[in-house]
Amino acid sequence: MTNSLSIRLKPYLYVLPLVALLAFVFGYPLLRIFEFSFKLVRGVDGPWIGLRNYELILSQSLFWESVLHNIQLLLAIPAMVVISLLISILLFERIAGWRLYRVIVFVPFVLAIPIIAVVMKRMFQFSGPVNEVLRWASLDFLALDWIGSSDVALWTVMILIVWRESALGIILFLARLLSLDEAVLEAGRLDGANWWQRVWHIILPQMRGVIEFYVVVSVITMLASVFAYVYVMGGGRGGPGTATMVVEFYIFNALIRTSLPGIASAASVLLFLVSVLLIFPMFRARRRAREEEA
């Protein structure tokens, strides 16, 4: 009996140090964030105020504006999927120079976000290269104030996100495409299926898992990982005005710029809970993708 118990416990003991380390590194701060979200924190601690931080956040228009902007960014995902699919399929079909193109399309993903965001920001200035080209082509009506107008700024951020994040999609999709059974595609070709029919009836059904995975990852990115884009493109303010303010930036402002760690913690908890809800479909999608590949 004792022997059997020790055999069963043994594996857990092996992983215990790592679990303890993870609990300390991630678990403790998470608990503190939950605790802070119920306090009016000044400096490093403060009095307990119950749900007041949550009440204040949920009644603040700026918070909902930030949420809305995150949701608006979700609109970029269909574009990312389509672009990634299109380019990955073209690369898969080994168009001339495909190896070089593969490197080129992945470059944006390798470069740090602040670097490409700074470059893009210069490109999209009112007197920048993009507008200069448009004016040169007599398309003045398209020469917008890309980063200076509240109506346009978030869409400009979205363009940048689509450009960079599509690179990940391309690589994921291409990896999946390269593992497809070419015999099936060849059979389709011999049966007279045109390019579109092959994509629609043969390729896409087999890629469903990896597309789902990419979509879920992208949703999490749009909700909880666009800070660097917004920080650089929005002049470090989520601007102009509050036009590019997102929840992450809201948290950053509350913590760093407005000395409200309690509010930042409460907003972080809300964001965390939403992200956790999204992690389950992500795991499911990943499992499905693996099963398809097997």
Partner 1 sequence: MSKSRIPNISRRDFVRTSAVFGTAAALGGVLPPFARAQEKTLDMWWWGEQELPGLQKFVDGSIAAYKDAAVKSMLQDTAVVISQFQTAAAAGKAPDIQYLWNGVYHMESVWLGYLKGLKGLVKDDILAASNPTALSRFGGNIYRVGWYPLPMFWCYNKTLFEKAGLDPEAPPKTWDELLAACEKLKSAGIEPLGGGIQDGYWSEWYITHSLPQNLDSFGEAVELFIGDKDFRDPKYHEHWKKLEELKTRGYLNKDMSSLELYPGIDLVAAGKLAIGQSIGTRLPADSKATGGKIGYMTMPLFGKGKLAGVPVVDVQGLGISSNAEDPAAAAAFLEYLNSPERLKAFWDATGWLPSNTTFDASVIADPSVRGLWENWGLKPNISNVTNLVPGQFYERAAIPTGQQIVQGSMTGEQAGELAANTAKEWRDFNPDMVENYRKWAVDLSAPM
Residues that bind partner 1 (CB under 8 A): 40, 42-45, 56, 60, 62, 124-128, 145-151, 235-237, 239-242, 253, 256-260, 263
CB nearer to partner 1: give 33 or 220: 33
CB nearer to partner 1: give 126 or 195: 126
Residue 235 φ/ψ region, left for φ over 0, alpha for ψ in the -120 to 50 degree band, beta for the rest? left
CA 210 to the chain's CA centroid: 16
Residue 259 CA to residue 234 CA, distance in Å, equals: 21
Q: State both tokens at 264.
A: 């930042």
Nearest alpha-carbon partner for 152 in 144, 142, 164, 141 = 144
Residue 39: strand, helix, or coil:
strand
CB nearer to partner 1: give 68 or 110: 68
Closest approach of Cβ 45 to partner 1, in Å? Answer: 8
- The answer to whether 229 and 211 are in contact (CB under 8 A) is no
CB nearer to partner 1: give 46 or 281: 46
CB nearer to partner 1: give 124 or 214: 124
Residue 270 CA to residue 57 CA, distance in Å, equals: 10
With residue 251 as reference, give the H or E element that holds it.
Answer: helix 247-252
